[in-house]
Structure 1
Amino acid sequence: MRRLLWPLGLAALICNPSFAGSPAADCGPIRIASDAGRATETRPEGPLTLPGALAITGRVNPDLAAARREVQVFEAAIRQARSRPNPELSAELEDTRPETRTTRLALSQPIELGGKRAARIDAADYGRAAAEAKLIASQMRICAAVRVAFFDALIAQETLELAQASAELAQRATQVAERRVLAGKVSPIEQTRAQVNEAAVRVALHAAEKALTTARSQLAGAVGDETLPVDRLQGDVASLPEWLTRAELAQHIDAAPAVRQARIALEHSRARIQVERSRRIPDLSVSVGAQHDSERDLDQAIIGVSVPIPLFDRNQGNLEAALRQSDQARDELMATKLRIATRLDQALGRFATARSELTFLERDILPGAQGAYDAVLKGFELGKFSFLDVLDAQRTLFSARSQQLDALREAHHAAAALGALLGDGADDASLSSVADLR
């Protein structure tokens, strides 16, 4: 089986080449599906492949578009955080009589103390980093969903072909039974059994057709384009990653998208603590202006300084809330690491079980089942076996093939789960190791 470069390859497939070096890089133009107009480049000219499906996902998936919008929101928040307080112009008029009127005109400028602006900018920067980490995690999660849906549809396509082959064999068996009945070699009940078996196979064929339609619809939904043509899929359903080791992949848990997102959330909460601490220090307001006394015809300069007295409100509540949120973020980081490690272990176990089952089926069961069916069918035509023997051999063969497809589906689901868990944190060396998973 060919080795797939996942999960690192999944990120590269869905994003532009520049994405690997910059988490915030755009994954192509944001195109939300609409009835009026879709980008023509989202339509594959030939059969749809997994790389093609992932590339289309990067352009049209609305969940990815929403995650990119969140990054843009925090970029705007950074620009706002860098803004300084506006000056204030005030005008006062004392007495309405012109001969005794006093007019004051003053300009005041608040001056932030305690590092408020720097803390505010730092918190906004961490907010953008958190949004970028969330975008990467969303990309990995959606990549995994598209991969699962693609291989589910591809396996449903293979299952339909298997059901069609089964129907052809059942029809052939019925024809053989008819000839033997006409020749007087077997009882007519053999023909009835063959016809009943063929009818049951036709029912299974109809169910396989419905399952393929459903799988194709789920693939289009996972991509984010319900009108995407998915009637022709191309891929190697037997292509699986090589065996992996828990020890090697466990080294990359800290770089997993969910863990990275939780770690940045913790840093963001700590930055908000600094913001709340800086707000405990009152700001200074300096004012300058002029005053004209009409009664004495006298102009005077005005210089003032004002500062709030933190007697009642010292921002103690907001600071306490920020501290508790930081504690919560730290606990969530630990919980995320534990959850990722547990899910990694489960996914590796599922992958190992599926690979072992595939090896057993392909090495021991399928060749024997195929050989037995061919021999029994030929013997039935020569009168050496009954139709029940043919039916039993046929069921054994197609049951083994169905088990093979089920094992492939499970292996691809586990592989996609590993890709979603580890993202692009696993390097190429750790993915190519061949070792016992247990």
Structure 2
Amino acid sequence: MSSPFRRRPRIAAGCALVAIATALGSPAWADPTPSFEALLERIGLTPTTLEADALLDAAEARVRQARVRPNPELGLEAENAFGTGPFSGYDNAETTLSLTQDLELWGRRGARVAVAKADAGTAGLRRDLATVEAGGRLALAYAEAEAAQRRFRLAEEALAVTIADTRAALILVEEGREPLLRGIQGESEAAAARATLDEAKAERDAAFARLTAVAMLPAPVTSIDTSLIDLVPPALGLTAGATPQVRVAEAERAAAESRIEVERVRARPDLRASVGVRRYEAEDATALTFGLSLPLPLFDRNRGNIDAAYADFRAADARLMGARQEAEADRNAAEARLRASASRVAATDAGIAAAEEAYRLSRIGFEAGRISQLELRSSRTALISARNAAVDARLARVRAEIDLARLQGRAPFGAPQ
């Protein structure tokens, strides 16, 4: 006859198993999210790319505006009118109607257009960089959500395996082949596995919420069916050309250099020409007027703005130098991390196969009474760790691919944009 002390773990475990089965038997999540490729096609609708597009449109509009010449000035001037003596009234007045135009000499217009074009080129490169970075953020959010979903499913499997082992241990306790302590330990392990499952569920829901926001999906993400973390990145090859970050820095340097010429031109006199018609009321006659005007550079020679433009150019040149140094180092590091992550994925896959076989043999030995529960627990823990390590390795490979793709100016797992 069984002791009542030996029945308690089994009864408690049975209640726990019923609760767990009820939770695991809930309806599956529906409406899976679109694939990463489908979401990548909509990357132009994200706020960062829309902002970059708007800034590019503004820069191109400034180029069009820079090509426009200044408007002429129309002037009307009356002299010798409504005074005293012979100048009372308007009979002896002189009225002049003139048209004045800024001639924009010394290459003033060309320098202005060159700066606007340089700024537009920089805005275009920034738009490309924003698109690449948006693709990287999308890939990271997608991969993290998929990894969180996979960890949740692994936690479900780990809980099921732990429950099965606990049941086997309770049977041995009932048969008197294991002490009561083993049953209590089994229940404790099942409770810990359940807590791990709850934590994995919270992480999954948080990752799904982030993916929904990053991808700007109309409905919340509930599951991911198309895998990204299982994709193999493109083969590493010789990377030629500057990174997008360096190209942006080069464009900023060119724009800063063109502003030096603008400030130099502004230091030169701004010549203006005028032509008009003058009416002499007393003689009932008219005559043409001509004129040229320019400021005398006695006080303001634009020295401060010229020096500021040179300083801005030196700063842009320093940023370009730093960007080139960092780009080379970052690219080498990203390639090394990608190679290491590929090796790590292969190693973890092999580790899973070995851990599964070790657990299978341990379970057979435990049920036959040749292996202790501690050895079974150790093999089960190794299997759970190996499966989670495989997910971590795949996520690390995606992150390395995202870093390298950003430096190469392309979408992750895709061709250059």
Same structural fold, with TM-score higher than 0.5 when normalized by the shorter chain: yes
Tell me which residue corresponds to 2:158: 166
Tell me which residue corresponds to 2:69: 84
1:100 CA displacement: 2.0
Tell me which residue corresponds to 1:154: 146
Tell me which residue corresponds to 2:222: 231
1:118 CA displacement: 1.1
Q: Distance in 2 between matches of 1:429 and 1:143?
A: 12
Cα shift readout 1:282-306 (whole Å, capped 9, x = no counterpart): 2221111122222232322211111
1:153 CA displacement: 0.8
* Structure 2 residue runs without a partner (length 5+): 1-29, 83-88
Q: Distance in 1 between matches of 2:389 and 2:378?
A: 16
- CA 1:273–1:427 in 2, change beyond 3 Å: closer, same or farther? farther
Tell me which residue corresponds to 1:312: 299
Aligned length: 379
Q: How does 1:248-267 map to 2 (within 5 A)?
A: 248-249=238-239, 251-252=240-241, 254=242, 256-267=243-254
Q: TM-score, normalised by structure 1?
A: 0.82
Q: Distance in 2 between matches of 1:427 and 1:163?
A: 29
Tell me which residue corresponds to 1:289: 276
The 3-state SS of whatever aligns with 2:273 is strand
Q: Is the 8 A contact 1:104 1:289 kept in 2?
A: yes
1:428 CA displacement: 9.3
1:281 CA displacement: 2.2
Q: Distance in 1 between matches of 2:72 and 2:120?
A: 29
Q: Distance in 1 between matches of 2:204 and 2:414?
A: 34
Q: Distance in 2 between matches of 1:413 and 1:77?
A: 38
Q: Distance in 2 between matches of 1:149 and 1:69?
A: 25
Tell me which residue corresponds to 1:385: 371
Q: Distance in 2 between matches of 1:215 and 1:148?
A: 10
Q: Is the 8 A contact 1:114 1:281 kept in 2?
A: yes
Identity rate, percent:
28
The 3-state SS of whatever aligns with 1:89 is strand
**Based on CA coordinates, which of the two structures has the bigger radius of gyration?**
2
**Amino acid aligned to 1:185:** R
Structural RMSD (CA)? 2.3
> Aligned to 1:68, which of 48, 53, 58?
53
Q: Distance in 1 between matches of 2:169 and 2:218?
A: 46
Question: Given the alignment of the two structures, is residue 339 of structure 1 paired with residue 326 of structure 2, yes or no?
Answer: yes
Q: Distance in 1 between matches of 2:92 and 2:172?
A: 129
1:68 CA displacement: 0.6
Q: Is the 8 A contact 1:48 1:232 kept in 2?
A: no
Cα shift readout 1:305-336 (whole Å, capped 9, x = no counterpart): 11222222222221221122112111111100
**Amino acid aligned to 2:184:** T
Tell me which residue corresponds to 1:7: none
1:56 CA displacement: 2.8
Tell me which residue corresponds to 1:222: 214
Range that drifts further, 176-185 or 259-268: 176-185
Tell me which residue corresponds to 2:380: 394
Cα shift readout 1:93-135 (whole Å, capped 9, x = no counterpart): 1212122222111111111101111111111111111001001
Tell me which residue corresponds to 2:116: 124
Q: Is the 8 A contact 2:142 2:228 kept in 1?
A: no
Question: Which structure's relative contact order is higher, taking Cα pairs within 8 Å and 6+ residues apart?
Answer: 1
> Aligned to 1:276, which of 263, 275, 289?
263
> Aligned to 2:399, which of 396, 406, 413?
413
Q: TM-score, normalised by structure 2?
A: 0.86
Q: How does 1:182-197 map to 2 (within 5 A)?
A: 182-197=174-189
- CA 1:426–1:205 in 2, change beyond 3 Å: closer, same or farther? closer
Tell me which residue corresponds to 1:28: none
The 3-state SS of whatever aligns with 2:272 is strand
Q: Distance in 2 between matches of 1:313 and 1:372?
A: 86
1:425 CA displacement: 11
Q: Is the 8 A contact 1:257 1:423 kept in 2?
A: yes
- CA 1:188–1:427 in 2, change beyond 3 Å: closer, same or farther? closer
Q: Distance in 2 between matches of 1:402 and 1:133?
A: 40
Tell me which residue corresponds to 2:42: 56
* Structure 1 residue runs without a partner (length 5+): 1-43, 431-438
Question: Given the alignment of the two structures, is residue 93 of structure 1 paired with residue 85 of structure 2, yes or no?
Answer: no
1:183 CA displacement: 2.3
Q: Distance in 2 between matches of 1:402 and 1:425?
A: 27
**Amino acid aligned to 1:232:** S
Question: Given the alignment of the two structures, is residue 110 of structure 1 paired with residue 102 of structure 2, yes or no?
Answer: yes
> Aligned to 1:354, which of 316, 333, 341?
341
**Amino acid aligned to 1:82:** R
